């Protein structure tokens, strides 16, 4: 008689099972691809408020992948053993969390609470996808994991910044009180295929404007800095983190820093556009500098970015060209 995988009682007599919340989003869908490639059974939970099933449509029909459409702030019931929980559910671009401030706070608090409760119940390892936004408009540069941040809790970005800061605190509370095996990754600016054209972040905004031969929008005088990490580099770093025995937060991002104005000119060059640059007022609490210190990732994970900006942009632009 053939025993189905659901009947198996003991972990590790089969391939590991991973639950990815927010798995239909930009980062979550790339994570799922990597997990499946490395032999995981994957359960994706997403209510598609900002994600889309288009990002996981290529996985339809696989017997090692299951999609559950559900709000992560509601009770999660799974009748199978779970080894890893990757909590990626959250609006992540300014255009989304400014439009959905309460949902953003709820997924960071209630959603993280439900995901951690599942990890406790299943005795699963838990990874929180946190963000460089917990550093706010930083007074320390570059930002290392020991910096506590400079965040305006009542500003328009506070709903996202404080939701992630709370989710980090809750994750550590579950680690200390309930002995849940936790990881925290602080994700810096990441780009690549499956970003939404209209998600308001600098990479898709400038690429779509350039491809449409429209003026490139730069806020302020463009002297604020960012660093851009290609999605495959980020996902590899996150995978290494959950396999590494550390409970401390780890920055994952690309330390190559450039001004937004320099980046806009690079987009013009790579796309072959001749778009003019249009300057607009700087949004409130927009960080002036953003660059990760990745010494901890280098030391603990033996990780650093491999994909150059020109290579990553070429892949991303190809993806966007097909959708404009």
> Which residue stretches of the chain are H helix?
26-37, 94-99, 101-106, 112-122, 158-178, 202-211, 231-242, 260-271, 295-301, 309-321
Distance CA 261, CA 254 (A): 18
- Beta strand 257-259 with 225-227 is antiparallel
Let me know how long the chain is: 324
What the block records as the tokens of 226 is 């960012």
Instruction: Give the bridge partners for 45, in sequence order.
Output: 21, 68
Catalytic-role residue among 160, 174, 191, 239: 160
3-state secondary structure of 21: strand
Residue 278: phi and psi, rounded to 5, are -110, 120
Q: State how far the alpha carbon of 157 is from the alpha carbons of 144, 166, 219, 264, 315, in Å.
A: 21, 14, 16, 23, 30
Pairing mode, strands 84-87 and 225-227: unpaired
- What is d(CA 59, CA 196) in angstroms, rounded to the nearest whole number? 19
Query: How far is Cα of residue 165 from the mean position of the Cα atoms in its chain?
Result: 15
108 in Cβ contact with 163 (< 8 Å): yes
Reported as half-sphere exposure (CB side, CA atoms, 13 A), residue 239 has a value of: 20
Decide if 160 is catalytic: yes
Known catalytic residues are: 160
């Amino acid at each position: 008689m053939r025993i189905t995988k659901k009947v198996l009682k003991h972990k590790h007599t089969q391939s590991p099972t991973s639950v990815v919340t927010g798995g239909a989003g930009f980062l979550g869908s790339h994570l799922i691809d990597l997990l499946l490639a490395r032999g995981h059974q994957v359960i994706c939970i997403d209510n598609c408020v900002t994600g889309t099933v288009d990002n996981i449509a290529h996985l339809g029909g696989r017997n090692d992948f299951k999609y559950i459409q559900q709000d992560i702030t509601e009770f999660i019931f799974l009748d199978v053993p779970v080894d890893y929980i990757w909590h990626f559910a959250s609006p992540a671009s300014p255009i989304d969390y400014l439009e959905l401030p309460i949902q953003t706070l709820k997924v960071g608090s209630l959603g993280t609470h439900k995901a951690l409760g599942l990890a406790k119940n299943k005795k699963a390892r838990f990874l929180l996808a946190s963000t460089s936004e917990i550093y706010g408009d930083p007074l320390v540069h570059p930002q290392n994991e020991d910096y506590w941040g400079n965040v305006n809790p009542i500003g328009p970005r506070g709903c996202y910044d404080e939701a992630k800061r709370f989710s980090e605190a809750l994750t550590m509370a579950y680690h200390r009180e309930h002995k849940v095996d936790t990881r925290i990754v602080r994700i810096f600016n990441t780009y690549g295929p499956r970003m939404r054209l209209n998600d308001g972040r600098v990479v898709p905004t400038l690429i779509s404007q350039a491809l449409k031969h429209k003026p490139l929008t730069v806020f302020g005088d463009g002297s604020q800095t960012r660093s851009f990490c290609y999605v495959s580099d980020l996902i590899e770093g996150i995978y290494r983190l959950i396999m590494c025995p550390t409970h401390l937060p780890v920055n994952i991002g690309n330390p190559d820093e450039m001004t937004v104005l320099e980046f806009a000119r690079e987009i013009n060059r790579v796309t072959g556009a001749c778009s003019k640059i249009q300057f607009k007022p700087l949004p409130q609490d927009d960080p002036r500098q953003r660059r990760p210190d990745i010494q901890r990732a280098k030391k603990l994970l033996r990780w650093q970015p491999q994909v150059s900006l020109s290579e990553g942009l070429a892949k991303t632009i190809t993806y966007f060209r097909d959708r404009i």
